[in-house]
Structure 1
Amino acid sequence: MNREIKIALAEDDENLRFLVAERMQSEGYKVLEASNGDEAETIILTEHPDIVLLDWMMPGKQGSEVCENVRAKGFDKLIIMMTAKGQDVDKIEAYNFGVSDYITKPFNMDVLVAMIDNKIKFSLNSEKSESYRFANMEHLPNTHLLIKDGRKVELTILENRILLYFLKNQNKVINREELMMEVWGYNADVNTRTLDMHIVRLRKKIETNADSPQYLQTVRGIGYKFVYQG
């Protein structure tokens, strides 16, 4: 890597923090550690890390509050929320604190490393924040915003992942299984109805007429296709 990449790690469980920090350092990242929400917020605003790994439940300020505060102060880098299995993921979905993504504990270290490497490859290689334009819209995946006709439209984490995958695979037929794997990951316990529901919600945000979609089209019996000739 051509420059030192800083990761802020906010986690109150000392053992887990030690393990994650150790592994990240061995991968060549510089790790800044915080054991509570207040410390985390200070580190993020003073050190401007490239990626934040933020525990959802912490003493002091909770992860969601830290996230909201630093976003309000202009921090636009990646924030990955670490949540206990099943804990509050729906809440993260329902309220947008500006989380870029989340990983569920207990997680496999290799999965975490792959996730961070992947995100760094995409977001840090482009000097400016990652952004995708189509029609009258711009998608900013790091802060999961969609700018439509100059107006901000907030996307949930899952809508954000779905749209990003489509924008990276324009005009290609994506089958449902591939999309579910991409969005929910390996141990996903989701059915296609859940996926279809998210697609419907996303269509309402990007389409002029959600009932006859121009971009996010259904391919019968297979899945979906994002149609856009730029």
Structure 2
Amino acid sequence: MSKEIKIALVEDDENLRFLVAERLHSEGYKVFEAGNGDDAEKMILEETPDIVLLDWMLPGKQGSDVCTNVRNQGFDKLIIMMTAKAQDVDKIEAYNFGVSDYITKPFNMDVLVAMIDNKIKFSLNSEKAESYKFANMEHQPNTHLLIKDGRKVELTILENRILLYFLKNKNKVINREELMMEVWGYNADVNTRTLDMHIVRLRKKIEANPDSPQYLQTVRGIGYKFAYE
């Protein structure tokens, strides 16, 4: 793996930061560290890392503030939020601060490394930040933005994942189970109603008339299809 991949690690627990940094170094990544929000912001903007691992609870500034601030200043790389509590995950899901993904603590190091490797494979291989254009819209998955008629529409983490999967599988009928697996993963205790609710919210953001969707179509008894030439 290229030594050039830079990771900013923002974590106020020194022991955990040391362990994560050691492991990332051993995997061949270049690691920059910060223990509070103010230092983190400065470091992210100066070093422009490929991935930021950002703790949710920080002294000084919350992780969400750091995320919002660097996004506002044009940082468009991956930000993975490290969070200790289920409630925090709910907050990340509900409001979008421009988080690309999250991992809950305590996490297994192998899982963290696999997640990072995976992200790098998908997002850094394309030279510029990924973007998908359709109709009058452009989806930028790294920053969770949908640009519609030149206006920015923010997507939540789950909406972002759902839309990305559809755009990668255009005009293909996707059954609900496959989509739930892709969006929530194996340990998901999620029902189809939850999925359908997210689809409804996503339609409101992309469709001219959400009640008779042009792109995000329902395939009765099976699932959905993203129709676009």
Q: Scaled by the length of structure 2, what TM-score is found?
A: 0.94
1:9-28 pair list within 5 angstroms: 9-28=9-28
CA distance in 2, matches of 1:144, 1:75: 12
The answer (yes or no) to whether the contact 2:180–2:195 under 8 Å persists in 1 is yes
Deviation at 1:144, TM superposition (A): 0.6
SS at structure 2 position matched to 1:12: coil
- Give 1:177's aligned residue: 177
CA distance in 2, matches of 1:57, 1:195: 29
Q: CA offsets per residue over residues 35-93 of structure 1, 9 Å max, x none?
A: 12122112101111010000101111110011111111111111111111313222222
Q: CA offsets per residue over residues 131-168 of structure 1, 9 Å max, x none?
A: 00011110001111101111111111110111011111
- Give 1:41's aligned residue: 41
SS at structure 1 position matched to 2:208: coil
Q: Does 1:103 align with 2:103?
A: yes
The answer (yes or no) to whether the contact 2:3–2:28 under 8 Å persists in 1 is no
The answer (yes or no) to whether the contact 1:56–1:81 under 8 Å persists in 2 is yes
SS at structure 1 position matched to 2:153: strand
Q: Which moved more, 1:189-198 or 1:81-90?
A: 81-90
SS at structure 2 position matched to 1:60: coil
SS at structure 2 position matched to 1:88: helix
Q: CA offsets per residue over residues 181-228 of structure 1, 9 Å max, x none?
A: 221222222211111100000011111111111111112222211111
Deviation at 1:3, TM superposition (A): 5.1
Moved over 4 A (4+): none
Letter in 1 for 2:145: L
CA distance in 2, matches of 1:75, 1:199: 28
1:105-184 pair list within 5 angstroms: 105-184=105-184
The answer (yes or no) to whether the contact 2:144–2:154 under 8 Å persists in 1 is yes
Q: Does 1:187 align with 2:205?
A: no
Letter in 2 for 1:87: Q
CA distance in 1, matches of 2:222, 2:110: 31
Q: CA offsets per residue over residues 11-35 of structure 1, 9 Å max, x none?
A: 1122222222122122211111111
- Give 1:32's aligned residue: 32
CA distance in 2, matches of 1:30, 1:2: 10
Structure 1 vs Structure 2: percent identity of aligned residues?
Answer: 89
CA distance in 1, matches of 2:47, 2:164: 28
The answer (yes or no) to whether the contact 1:85–1:106 under 8 Å persists in 2 is no
1:19-98 pair list within 5 angstroms: 19-98=19-98
Q: Scaled by the length of structure 1, what TM-score is found?
A: 0.94
Deviation at 1:114, TM superposition (A): 2.1
